[in-house]
Chains A and B, each alone.
Chain A
Amino acid sequence: MLTGLSIALGTALVVIVLVVYGVVAESFRDAAQGYHLILGAKGGKLQLTLNTVFHLSQPIENIPYSFYKEFTEYKDADGRPTRGKYASAVEVAVPYCLGDSYQEFRVVGTTPDLFNKLSYGTFPDGTPKFYEFSAGKNFTADDFRGAVIGAVAAKKTGLQVGDHFPITHGLAEDEDAHVHEEDAFHVVGILRPTGTPNDRAVFVNMEGFYLIADHAKPVEAEDDEAEGPQATQIVQLREAKDSLQQLLERDTLSAEASTEIERIDGLLRTILGKLSPSKAEVKKSQSAGKSPDDVAGSADGGTTGGIAPLPENQREVTSVLLLLKNDVFSQILHNKINEGSVAQAVYPSREVAKLFEGIVGHVQTILLILAILVVVVAGVGVMVSMYNSMSDRSREIGIMRALGAARVTVMSIVLFEAILLAVLGGVAGVCLGHGTIGAFAPVITANTGVMINFWEWAPAIYLGGWSVSPELVLIPSLLLLAVVVGFLPAVVAYRTDVSRALSHSP
């Protein structure tokens, strides 16, 4: 009985490890699906994946907003529809602005495309899973203060549709984090549970995110409208001018140099003069409540309730999720972006796979080995217990032999007993394992967002071309274990001397 219980406990442990690991792995994989690449500042690939996909770790540096635009279609300074350098390969580009939090949850400034156009994971039949809302709806581009809350974050914070909440500049663990009470967002939608890390995040309209104090990128007074190549030219011209001026002051240059300085000044004025819209125009449009893209003729514009959007030259993004038009583009874009100096592109699925193989996989292997050891130790317990009981049972064996049971028959009976003990213990263990998972499922889901339930089977593995749940391999493995541990007692039963066994007093 006790030995059967120890087998049940060991099996339950194996089941729990297999199921929880499998579900977590699936959840991780799902989280990294739905798009091809993540774009972010140069740095650690894993860190970029962790803070973009899993809302963990510190965000890396930001990348220029202008670079993000290279992956989109927008309207240029003159209002003409323009296609970014890489836009033809891109289906959707969803920017992420990170670095803020609400209570313990990360805040993600993004666009409505995240929930409208991207999916997460796939169903067993291969169809993509799209985001759904348990309450409310997605925020719109022109609702600058709109927010969507992940299922777990909503449950834990108690936020409901219509509620207003301020976000904290910086992460909860940062010492200098402070709350922007004046820039509250309002909840327009609560996501249905997805089983991905997005359940534990708060999503706000990127436009509102930019407008929070301290979120604008500092710019120099004169060139605050310049960006991209123009900004670079301005900086270079300024440096050349300063250098010439210094040489002139030391009398090491002729008077002709002063003429050259004047020419550079002229060039600077020309470049700044070409920037459109002019400072005055922007100010005018801001007072009318239009976004910079409106000013530039973007289709993304709309009424914003009198809130002016942040000028583009003060914007940055932390990362961009790229869903491409086909898989071939992902390799081309990946190489192209990584060859440049502005940003890096990573395959999130590869990073997740590496993370699992490198760290989580080892933890699972260790846990699995420990759990299997528990089962094996329980099996050895069965063997010792049965072996010890053989001397007590030799009389029973003698009686059966005297009644006509062959040696092989009594050996089979003992083996069958070991198998029965292992199978019953195993079945009880599988039930116990699933029962434990079922009992803790609400707590696990509420705290981690990982969706798990009583009927959750460990994800299938491939054995000889067959796809089977490792749990189904458990019972045959236990049978094998039973045969191994039952063999020694069975041999003892086989070798029982009937005359001697019957001569023992009962």
Chain B
Amino acid sequence: MLLLKDIQKSFIEPDGKTLPILGIEEFCVARGEQMVLVGRSGSGKTTLLHVIAGISRPDQGVVEIAGRDITQLSEAGRDRFRAEKIGYVFQTFNLLPAFSALENVLLGMTFTRKAANVARARELLDRVGLGQRLTHRPAALSVGEQQRVAVARALANKPQILLADEPTANIDTGNQQQIVDLIRETCREEEVALVMVTHTPEVCSQFDRVDELAEINRVAKRAK
């Protein structure tokens, strides 16, 4: 389902020096598989998610999702691929404050070639327990509810893979488990592969596969 091969990614620092971030020989996630990626701050977790999502292009290597090497696509092609095949849940939810819960989910459907499916947006919000709060704006929702909206938005286009970047980091302990359960359950129901980045040991302990980024990323390994 997801295959990363010979990935190299570096940034140019303000002084002109090259700063290597990723050096991954191979990284695979199977269809419907749920796994956790752990690593210390600055080890390149978010950069890796950006490379998988096609937000950043690796300096070299292959990023294959559902049999398609997205590094070969143009930027616009990667944007469309991301809209249709990849779901993304952010640590800070990233909901648009001027939009209601329903509109935020519909926004996730706007950038595909298909027309926005209001019924699916309602169904997803209902599934995450916000069926009664469709018209509420983010400011009127609790942080837990905001992350639920973000999860619903990420799944709106029936993606093949869901990337969750520390989705419980800004949520109180009581709500953390609910969010994790919600993400895992909905991914299971929709047969979506899940790559979740987290620092929380309680969350890690629930997954069968937990990868230490430092083990797969040569750059992080050297720094370690």
Report which A residues bind B (CB closer than 8 A).
395-396, 398-409, 498-499, 502-503, 505-506
CB pair A406 B50 closer than 8 Å: no
- With A and B bound together, what is the CA distance between A9 and B211 in angstroms? 62
Note all chain B residues with C-beta closer than 8 A to A502: 55, 90, 94
- With A and B bound together, what is the CA distance between A210 and B141 in angstroms? 90
CB pair A395 B94 closer than 8 Å: yes
CB pair B111 A405 closer than 8 Å: yes
- Per-position 1/0 for B68-85, Cβ under 8 A of A: 000000011001101110
Q: Is the interface of B mostly helix, strand, loop or mixed?
A: helix
Decide yes or no whether B30 CB sits under 8 A from chain A.
no
- With A and B bound together, what is the CA distance between A470 and B69 in angstroms? 56
Tell me the smallest distance from the CB of B89 to a CB of chain A, in Å.
11
- Given A402-B53, A402-B55, A403-B153, 4 extra CB contacts under 8 A: A399-B94, A403-B82, A407-B79, A506-B92
CB pair A404 B94 closer than 8 Å: no
CB pair A403 B55 closer than 8 Å: no
- With A and B bound together, what is the CA distance between A401 and B92 in angstroms? 16
CB pair B55 A407 closer than 8 Å: no
Note all chain A residues with C-beta closer than 8 A to B79: 401, 404-407, 409
Tell me the smallest distance from the CB of B197 to a CB of chain A, in Å.
14
Q: Is the interface of A mostly helix, strand, loop or mixed?
A: helix
Decide yes or no whether B176 CB sits under 8 A from chain A.
no
Query: How big is the B interface, by class?
Result: 20 to 34
CB pair B92 A403 closer than 8 Å: no
Report which B residues bind A (CB closer than 8 A).
46-47, 50, 53, 55-56, 75-76, 79-80, 82-84, 88, 90, 92, 94, 96, 107-108, 110-112, 153
- With A and B bound together, what is the CA distance between A505 and B79 in angstroms? 23
Note all chain B residues with C-beta closer than 8 A to A400: 107, 111
- With A and B bound together, what is the CA distance between A93 and B88 in angstroms? 89
CB pair B111 A409 closer than 8 Å: yes
- With A and B bound together, what is the CA distance between A404 and B47 in angstroms? 17
- With A and B bound together, what is the CA distance between A93 and B56 in angstroms? 88
- With A and B bound together, what is the CA distance between A409 and B75 in angstroms? 12
User: 5 closest A-B pairs (Cβ-Cβ)?
Assistant: A404-B83, A404-B111, A406-B79, A399-B94, A406-B76
Note all chain B residues with C-beta closer than 8 A to A396: 96
Note all chain A residues with C-beta closer than 8 A to B55: 401-402, 498-499, 502
Q: Which of A399, A407, A499, A505 contacts B76 (CB under 8 A)?
A: A407
Q: Give the interface centre of B46, B79, B90 by most chain A CB atoms within 10 Å.
A: B79
CB pair A404 B96 closer than 8 Å: no
- With A and B bound together, what is the CA distance between A98 and B202 in angstroms? 105
Q: Considering only CB atoms, which chain B residue lies closest to A408 in the complex?
A: B76
| In the complex with contacts A404-B79, A404-B84, A406-B80, A505-B111 CB distance below 8 A | no
Note all chain A residues with C-beta closer than 8 A to B153: 403
- With A and B bound together, what is the CA distance between A498 and B51 in angstroms? 12
| In the complex with contacts A499-B50, A499-B55, A499-B56, A403-B76 CB distance below 8 A | no
